[in-house]
Amino acid sequence: MTSWRSASATHVGLVREANEDALFTSDALVIVADGMGGHAAGEVASSVAIATFCEHLGSDTSLVGLADGLRHANERILADAAAHPDRQGMGTTLTSVALVPFGKGRAVAWANIGDSRLYLVRDDVAQQITEDHSVAEEWVRQGRISKEEAAVHPRRHQLTRVLGIDPFVEGDTGLLPVEVGDRLVLCSDGLSNEVSDSQMATIVTQASSLNEACSELVSAALDAGGRDNITVVVVEIESVDVVVPPTSVAKTTSESTLMRRPRRTFHVPRHLTWRSTAFAGAVIALAAGVFVVFGWFAQSGYYLADVDGKVAIYQGHSGGFLWYQPKQVLMTDFKVSEMRPGDRSQIKEHLVEPSLSAAIRHVANMHEQWRMTQPVTTTTLP
Ligand code: MN
């Protein structure tokens, strides 16, 4: 039977006052979550996510169960935030590995949303399995900036997908082919921002025990500055009973469902010769291609706008593009007057975000920044 053993460590770091990260380990499920939202809300988000995810995986341990677990956790956090106004805007990342039935044995499956990471450490190399859901990394995948530019980009920490913000969000899931002796590292960005992949590989490979690997990874992150909460789980594969083909990796994304491509049908008159039909076909195919590309481009961004003093989110390009007009997809409750002056002008200038969830998150962040500049009001009880 495929099996693993694991060790874990978490540390508040050197700068933050509270540890909003959370983790869970068992002999078939490992989870790391990095909560955000300030006050106690970040801790609530990460622990609610882990509790809901565990509960769901208990009744459905499968690849589909992982994706459903993310959806359930998302719903539970949104419901909790709706019931507690002081927790509004809270969210969490979640990265998990689980042993799921596969063929006649069990395989390692993973799930991810946000920018916590799963690495496979083999032959002294740490390979990142998950993709970060950050603005900078989404732009790398769209070919807009290079991997090197992303590493220092100011928006590399701004998440495009996270649990607890967008009701329709989905994570990525997949199966990971493993060998006996492989070590897996699950960590929050408090580790991956401070420790390079090669440093991680060296520490994990040379450590004499999993506990030592965890404590040395945390020490390395603290030595590098410890600017965030640090959480790490190191898993070692002890036995493997099924062969998982490398092509069986499945990923789900919801961003593509937001981009609706226009569909058109063309009718070719019957009396045309094959030559002119072929030519007309080529022209039509080209025109249709241009149409699809323009349609995609016209609807590819989400921008902010001031509508009657509140922040609205539009899909499309401000002012329209060709015959495509932008459409309002969300009216938020955030007042433009409750933003800092610089942010107010960003809204007036229609700041563009790559996804709806990134736009919502940006608005919430701007409001939070403004709120922190406001004097604290104390209520005196009679
Ligand atoms: Mn973090």
Give one DSSP letter per residue of 93-108, joined into a string: -EEEEEEEEETTEEEE
Rounded to whole angstroms, the Cα distance separating 140 from 147 reads 6
What are 98's strand-pairing partners? 29, 109
What are the residue ranges spanned by the domains of the chain?
3-248, 273-374
333 Cα–ligand 1 center, Å = 27
CB atoms within 10 A of CB 366: 23
Token pair 């509140």: residue? 310
Q: How confident is the model at residue 249 (pLDDT cuts 50, 70, 90)?
A: very low
Q: Which of 222-226, 344-348, 361-365 has the highest mean pLDDT?
A: 222-226
Dihedral (CA of 327, 329, 333, 338) sign = negative
111 Cα–ligand 1 center, Å = 18
230 Cα–ligand 1 center, Å = 7
Q: CATH class for domain 3-248?
A: alpha beta
pLDDT single digits (tens) 126-135: 999 999 999 9
189 Cα–ligand 1 center, Å = 5
228 Cα–ligand 1 center, Å = 6
Helices (H), 224-300: 255-258, 274-298
Rounded to whole angstroms, the Cα distance separating 256 from 324 reads 18
Rounded to whole angstroms, the Cα distance separating 117 from 95 reads 6
110 Cα–ligand 1 center, Å = 20
Q: How confident is the model at residue 259 (pLDDT cuts 50, 70, 90)?
A: very low
pLDDT at residue number 253 = 42
Which of 9, 27, 3, 4 lies closest to 211 in space, CA to CA?
9
HSE value, Cβ hemisphere, 13 Å, CA-based, for 97: 30
Bigger pLDDT: 38 vs 195: 195
Bigger pLDDT: 180 vs 246: 180
47 Cα–ligand 1 center, Å = 14
Dihedral (CA of 144, 147, 152, 157) sign = positive
Rounded to whole angstroms, the Cα distance separating 191 from 119 reads 12
Average pLDDT, the chain: 86
What are 128's strand-pairing partners? 119
Instruction: Please say if the pLDDT value at position 280 is more than 90.
Output: no
Rounded to whole angstroms, the Cα distance separating 77 from 65 reads 18
What are 335's strand-pairing partners? 310
